[in-house]
Amino acid sequence: MALKKILILCGVLLSVPANAAPPPAQVDDLVLANHILADQGVFDGFGHVSVRLDADHFLLAQSMAPALVTTKDILVIDIATCAPVDSGGRNTYLERFIHCAIYRRDPKVNAVVHSHAEGLIPFGVTKQPLRPVFHMGGFLGGGVPVFDIRDAGGNATDQLIRDPKLGAALAESLGDHPVVLMRGHGATIVGTTLHQVVFRSVYAVADARLEAEALRLGPVTFLNDAEAKNAAATNDGQIDRAFELWRLAAARNSLTK
């Protein structure tokens, strides 16, 4: 298969041959991301995380509980068709269309998480917006939109993003934000790197928990836009500090030993 050169923003990202094996280090990192998000309580038996492989493909586990993912479970997914290059008889996540649509829409996104984290649900079904309460939630400062599937799929869906149309609608709702809440469903979070999206996923849940607690006590003083932006920039330089701790915790508690 000929290599296709695709210009993305200010750089050139090359497609690899469809039958080429993905880099082992990238596969290992994605397996680790699954385990960390499960160990940190962002995932339970459900949820999925992906990472962009090249201009035309991304990596995603087969349909299974994230804590149980191993390297043999990682699939290469074609962004255009949203189908695995070679499933090997393995099932894919029903909501893989979330990832395909976001990667197609925004070339700056290199990693995507979809979770049903319970702490985020209340902010998607009430008028209370999710906002940064503390500096670790600074990335929430640009506002967190709420996607209502009824607007794109009518009043009788099962809440799942199970086709390209719904995926595109969700991606449009996300826009340039790092987080979009999904009414009665969960949230989708994006990042420029896999480590960043894991970091954001963990701290989005932490911020939601703190905001809910603070609101019970009285009026809340949130971070202003400048504080949130500056905190987010600082935190982006410290992600690996947290990631290493979470890696060790996930390895200690791993169910795939």
pLDDT band at 188 (very low <50, low <70, confident <90, very high): very high
Give yes or no for a contact between 52 and 111, defined as CB atoms under 8 angstroms apart. yes
pLDDT digits (tens, 9 = 90+) for 1-27: 333 433 444 444 555 555 678 999 999
Which amino acid is located at 42 in the chain?
V
Q: What is the mean pLDDT of the chain?
A: 93
Is 133 a residue whose pLDDT tops 50? yes
Q: What is the DSSP string of 184-233?
A: TTEEEEEESSHHHHHHHHHHHHHHHHHHHHHHHHS------HHHHHHHHH
Residue 187 has pLDDT above 50, yes or no: yes
Q: What's the whole-number mean pLDDT along residues 142-164?
A: 97
Q: Write 232-241 long-range contacts (CB < 8 A, 24+).
A: 232/138, 232/139, 232/141, 233/138, 234/135, 234/138, 235/135, 235/136, 235/138, 235/139, 235/199, 236/196, 239/193, 239/195, 239/196, 239/199, 240/195
Superfamily of domain 26-252: Class II aldolase/adducin N-terminal domain (3.40.225.10)
Share of the chain above pLDDT 90, in %: 91
| Residue 244 designated active-site | no
Q: What confidence tens digit (pLDDT) does each residue in 56-85 have? A: 999 999 999 999 999 999 999 999 999 999
Give me the phi and psi of 11, to 5 degrees please: -130, 175
Tens of pLDDT along 206-222? 999 999 999 999 999 99
Sheet containing 186-191: which strands, arranged edge to edge? 74-78, 57-61, 48-52, 111-115, 186-191, 179-182, 146-147
pLDDT in tens, 23-60: 999 999 999 999 999 999 999 999 999 999 999 999 99
pLDDT at 119 over 90: yes
The dihedral over CA atoms of 120, 125, 129, 135, expressed in degrees to the nearest 10, equals: -10
Q: Would you kindly state where each structural domain of the chain is located, as residue ranges?
A: 26-252
Model pTM?
Answer: 0.92
Classify residue 10 by burial, with Cβ atoms within 10 Å: 0-12, 13-18, 19+.
exposed
* Mean per-residue pLDDT, 228-238: 98
| Residue from 95, 118, 211, 213 carrying the catalytic annotation | 95
For residue 200, CA distances in Å to 2, 184, 236, 256 come to 37, 20, 10, 25
pLDDT band of residue 256 (cuts 50, 70, 90) is confident
Task: Give the confidence band of 149 by pLDDT, cuts at 50, 70, 90.
Answer: very high
